Chains A and B, each alone.
Chain A
Amino acid sequence: MVLGVRGTGEGGDKPPQTGPGSGVDRRRFLGYLLAAPTLAVAAELGLGGGESVAAERGVGTATRAVPSLDITDIVDLNDLLTVAALPTANRITIVVNTDGTVSFALPRAEVGQGITTSTAMLIAEELDVPLEKVKVTLADARPELAFNQFTGASNTTISTFTPVRVAAAVARGRLLEAAAVVLGEAVGDLTLKAGVVTGLLGKSIGIGALAEKAASAEARKVSVTLKERAEFRVIGTPRNRIDALEAVTGRKKFTMDLQVPDALPTMVCRPPTLNGKPGAVANLGAVRAMPGVTHVAAVSTGVAVRARTFGQCIDAVRALQVAWRPGSAEGKSDATVRKELKDAEIWLGLPAVTPSVEATFTFHFRSNSALETNCAIADVRPDRAEIWSGLKSPIVAQQAIAKRVGLPRDKVTVHVTESGGSFGRRLFFDAALEAAEISKEFGKPVKLMWHRADDSRQGRAHPMATSRVRAAYLGNSVLSYKQRHTSVATDLGHGLGEVITAFAAKLPVGDIGFSETFFQLSQSMPYDFGVYSRLLAETDKGFNTGSMRGVYSPDVVCARELIVDRLAEKMGKDPLAFRRDFLRDKRVRAVLDKVAEVGAWGRELPEGVAQGIALHNEYHSVVAVLVELDCRPETVNRPVRDGVAGPRVTRAICAVDAGLAVNPRGLEAQMTGGIMDGIAQTLTASLHLRDGYFLEASWDNYFYSRQWNTPPELKVVVMPPSTEKPGGAGELAVAASAAAVACAYGRATGTMPTSFPINHGTLSFEPKPTVPPVPPSPTDGLDHVR
C-alpha cells in the first residue's frame, strides 16, 4: 500500500476493520441524515477508495519469464483520482420525494458513457426502489468538491461506487424506521421491496408516503451495512439506458436545444491557420447590417456574430473580411512535426548485445471532435454570469470563466448539460469560455455553436506521436523491453493537472514532472519482459490537444503489441501462445483465452485475410480483442462515395473483465464503441497538417468508422465478476482493438505497419478553403430526397 490511504473521509468515517476480508465489517460505512423537508441522506465521496491494486489484481509472475516491475501494479492513475477525492470530505445527496421517486444530482458529466444509468442502478439496488423511479440529473459546478467533479480516465464508477450506495443505504434504513412507526411493527419485521414497505401482517406503505415522515430535523451520522454481492438484484444485471426514451423521441435536450431567453445563435469567424488572431475587419458595418444580425465584434479567438438564426450567422461569418495574424503552428506540416519528434526522442541506449527487435511507429494527429460540436450558452451580466455547457471539469471551467469575465467565482453559475459525445473534448471548456467572453462583449446572452469546420480545424486533436521500441531476447526469454514515446504536448490543463500536481510528490516516481507522472501512472506492462523501461518526451505546445478516449494508451499499446507479434515470430512461436507464456496477470490471460476460444484463433482464412489478437490492462480492468481483417484488393477497393473503404474488419471478438460490471449492457456498448474507435485509428482516421492548419474540415474529410467499416460480426463477452468492485471501461477497448487491427494488418499483408492510420499517406479528399472558414450549406437537398 503506497499511498497510505484509508477508506474514509476525515476522522474515521468508517468503523475499524477487524481484518482483511472480514465480511460485514468491510461493507459497513457511515453516512448522514440531513435536515430537510423530505428524506435527504448523504455520503462522503471517497468512501471505499484506496485499496491495494496489486492484491486485487492477483498479479503474479509468468512461469517462464523474467519479471518486470511496474509501478501500475502498485498504484495507477485511477487510484490517484480516487485517492484525490478522499480528504475533500464533501457530500453527495440523495433525496426521497413524496411521489415515490428518488432524486440524485450526479457530480459528473454524462456524455454517452451511461453513468446516469449505472448510478441509478446503484441507488435502485441499495434503496430497493424500481430503477425507473430513480431520477439522476447532472450537478452544477460545486467548487467545494475540489478534485471530485472531474469526469475522466474512466474513473466515475470506480470512485462513486461505494459513496452512492452508502447514501442509498442510509435512506433505506431511515425509511424502514419511519415505516415501523406508521405500521406499528418492529423494523426487523418489515421488508422494503420495489419502493413499498410491507409488514408481517401484510400492511404496506410506499416510500413516497414516508418521505416526509422519514425526514430528519437535524443532521446526524448513521452507520449502515451495504448489501453483499450475493444479494444484488440490480447491480450486475443488463439494463437499458434510463434516457433511452428521450433519445429516440428527440426529447433529450442537449445544450443547443435549451431555450434560454434572448440567447440568440452566435458563431465565430475563425482564422485560416491554427490559433491565428484577428486583426482589422474591413466590412464590420456591412456585416452588422446583414439580415438578422444583431452584433458583430472581434474577440480573442476571431470575430463573433450574433443573429436570429444560425443560418444567418453562417452567412455573416462567410461575409466577414478579416486581416488575420499568424497562429501557433505557422508553416508547420506533418513532416516538420515528425522532425521535431525525432529531435525530442529520448535515447534508447546502446544496441543490445543479444538478438533484438526494434521499430519506430508514427501516430498522426487525430480529431476528437464529437458529433455535437463545441457549444455553450452564456448569459454574462455586470454582477453575475450563468453558463450552460457539457463539461467534464466544471469547477476549473467556473474558475477560468470567472477570471475571464472579471467576476468572483461565486457569481458564476455553471450548469452541466448532457453532451452529444466527448472522446476527450468535454474535458475542456473552450466553447464555454469563449461564449462567456462574447456574452460580456455583446452585453447579451448568446447561444454559441462551433461550425463543424471550426470543430475539426481549430478544435482539439490527439497529439501526433512516435513510439520507438526495442526488445532484446535470448532463447525462450525476453531480456529487456524499452519504449520511448515522443509526443506533441498533450494539454492536461483541465483539472486532472491539479490532481497530479497535488499528489505527484507523494508518488514513488521521483520528481519527473507532470506529463511523465501521468504517463507512468496511465501505462502498464502486462508482460514479463525482463528489464523494462518506458519514458515519455513531449515537444511543441503550439497545438490544441487533448486526450482521445485515452491519452497515451492506444498508441503505446499498438506499438507494443506489434513488437510482441514480431518477437513471437523471431522466437518461432504462435502470437497467442507467446502472449500466454509471458503474461503475468491471470485476469489478462483469461480474457485472452476467451477471445481465442470464441474467435477460433488460428482458423483457416483466405489469403489476404488474417486474424490479429491484442490485449490491454488499465483502470483496474482488462480486455482482449481478436479481429479478422480482410485486406484483399476487392475489399480494399470496394466503391464508397465520398468516403474511404480500405481493409475491412469482418469479425471482432472482445472479452472484457471490468471487475464487477454494474451494467453489463452499458459495458458492452462501451466496448463496441471503443472497437469502432480502434478500427478508425488504425485504418482510416487522421488529420493532415499542412501550412499551419489541418486540412480536414468535416465528416466528408475525416474518416471515422462508418457503417461500411463496421464489422458484420461483432461479439463482446463480459467475463464473470473477478473482483468485488467495478473497474473503468470508457476508454478501455480502444487500445486493444487498435492494436489487434494493426497486428492483423501485419499478418494479412506480411508487412508490419509502422505509420497510422495506414492510409494517412493518401489524401482522400479535396481540402475545403480556409477563407471563408466555413463552407456554404448546400441548396440541393431536394435532389437527394430518397
Chain B
Amino acid sequence: MPEHTFRVNGEQVTVDAADDERLLWVLRDLLGITGPKYGCGINVCKACTSHLNGKAANPCAIPVKALKPTDEVTTIEGLPDTVGADLHPMQEAWLDQDVAQCGYCQPGQIMAAVALVRRVHEEGREITEADLDGIRNICRCGTYVRIREAIKAGAARM
C-alpha cells in the first residue's frame, strides 16, 4: 500500500492506504478518529463534515491521495485547539442551546456551522435565514430549530 502524508488536528500523519481510500475510512478505520460519522458515503448527509484547511469538507468524498503533506484536516476532536481553548465557541453555543439529541450528526453539524460562519464573516456580513436554510446536514432527530439558534449565538462569539 502507498504511503500518504498530511496533517490531522495539528499533527503530521503518514498512513498506508490505497490511493483511492476515502479519507473518512482513513480517519475512522486506520487512525481511530471517530468524531466524523458515516451517514451515507456519497456526500449527501454531511455527517462526516470536517475541515480541510479551515473550510468545510466531506471526507467520504475525498481520496486520500488528493491530500498534500501541508494539508490540515481538522475533525471535531481538533476544533477546540483551533481557538486554543477547551471548547470552540460554537460547541459552547451547542451546549447552551442543548442542541443534541442522539448526537450522531452533531459533530458534522458543528463543523459545518463553524465553516459557514467563517465564510459569511469573510464576506463581511452576518448569518441570514437563507444561509441557515442552505445547510444540508441532516438531523433525523429534527433538532434543526435549535441548530439555527445555536449558530446565531455561536456566530456572535466567533
Of A241, A259, A370, which contacts B32 at CB under 8 A?
A259
Q: Which of B29, B35, B95 has the most CB of A within 10 A?
A: B29
Given A698-B42, A699-B40, A777-B22, also A672-B143 (CB < 8 A): yes
- A766 sits at the interface (CB 8 A): no
Judged by a CB distance under 8 angstroms, whether B7 is at the interface is no
Q: Which residues in B have their C-beta under 8 angstroms from that of A372?
A: 37, 39, 102, 104
B77 touches A786 (CB 8 A): no
- A133 proximal to B (CB < 8 A): no
- CB pair B43–A778 under 8 Å, yes or no, is yes
Residue B6 is within 8 A (CB to CB) of chain A in the complex: no
Q: Is A20 interfacial (CB 8 A cutoff)?
A: no
A705 to B135, CA, bound (A): 12
Bound-state Cα–Cα, A112 to B101, Å: 5
Please state if A704 and B135 are interface contacts (CB–CB under 8 Å): no
In-complex Cβ contact of B62 among A254, A673, A782 (8 A): A782
A246 with B141: CB separation less than 8 A: no
Which chain A residue shows the least CB distance to B71? A782
Say whether B3 faces chain A, with CB atoms less than 8 Å apart: no
Q: Could you mark each residue 383-419 of chain A with 1 if its beta carbon is under 8 Å from any beta carbon of chain B, else 0?
A: 0000000000000000000000000000000000011
**In this assembly, does B52 line the interface, its C-beta being within 8 Å of a C-beta of chain A?**
yes
A256 in contact with B34 (CB, 8 Å): yes
Which of the four size classes fits the interface of chain B?
Answer: 35 or more
Q: Give the CA-CA distance A257 to B27 in the complex, in Å.
A: 11
Stretch at the interface among A123-131, A196-204, A305-313: A305-313
B100–A244 CB distance below 8 A: yes
Write out, one digit per residue, whether chain A residues 227-266 have a CB within 8 A of any chain B CB (1) or not (0).
Answer: 0000000000000110111111111111011010000010
Contact A786 B55 (CB under 8 A): yes
Binds B, one of A76-84, A492-500, A583-591, A706-714: A706-714
B62 touching A421 by the CB < 8 A rule?
no
Query: In the bound complex, do residue B143 and residue A241 qualify as a contact, i.e. CB atoms below 8 Å apart?
Result: no
Q: List 16 A-B contacts (CB under 8 A).
A: A114-B101, A241-B100, A251-B35, A643-B136, A673-B143, A698-B40, A699-B44, A707-B134, A707-B144, A710-B148, A777-B42, A778-B61, A785-B53, A785-B55, A785-B56, A786-B115
Known pairs A249-B77, A256-B28 / 18 extra A-B pairs, C-beta < 8 Å: A112-B103, A243-B103, A244-B94, A244-B100, A248-B94, A309-B26, A419-B102, A420-B102, A421-B104, A452-B39, A672-B143, A699-B45, A707-B134, A707-B147, A781-B22, A781-B59, A784-B57, A786-B55
Give Cα A712–Cα B34 distance, bound, in whole angstroms: 33
Judge whether B34 and A257 touch: CB under 8 Å. Answer: yes
Chain B proximity of A718: nearest CB distance (Å): 14
- B145 pairs with A714, CB closer than 8 A: yes
Q: Tell me, yes or no, whether A780 is within 8 Å of chain B by CB.
A: yes
CB distance from B85 to the nearest CB of A (A): 12
**B102–A250 CB distance below 8 A:** no
- Residues from chain A with a CB closer than 8 A to the CB of B137 are 707
Specify which of A452, A675, A707, A780 lies most central, judged by the most chain B CB atoms within 10 Å of its CB: A707
| Nearest-neighbor residue (CB-CB) of A452 within chain B | B40
Query: What separation, in Å, do the CA atoms of A244 and B107 have in the docked complex?
Result: 11
| B133 interfacial contact with A, CB 8 Å | yes
- The answer to whether residues A706 and B35 also contact, given A247-B103, A371-B104 and a CB cut-off of 8 A, is no
Knowing A777-B60, A781-B58, A786-B119, the reply to whether A700 touches B25 (Cβ < 8 A) is no
Closest to B1 in A: A291
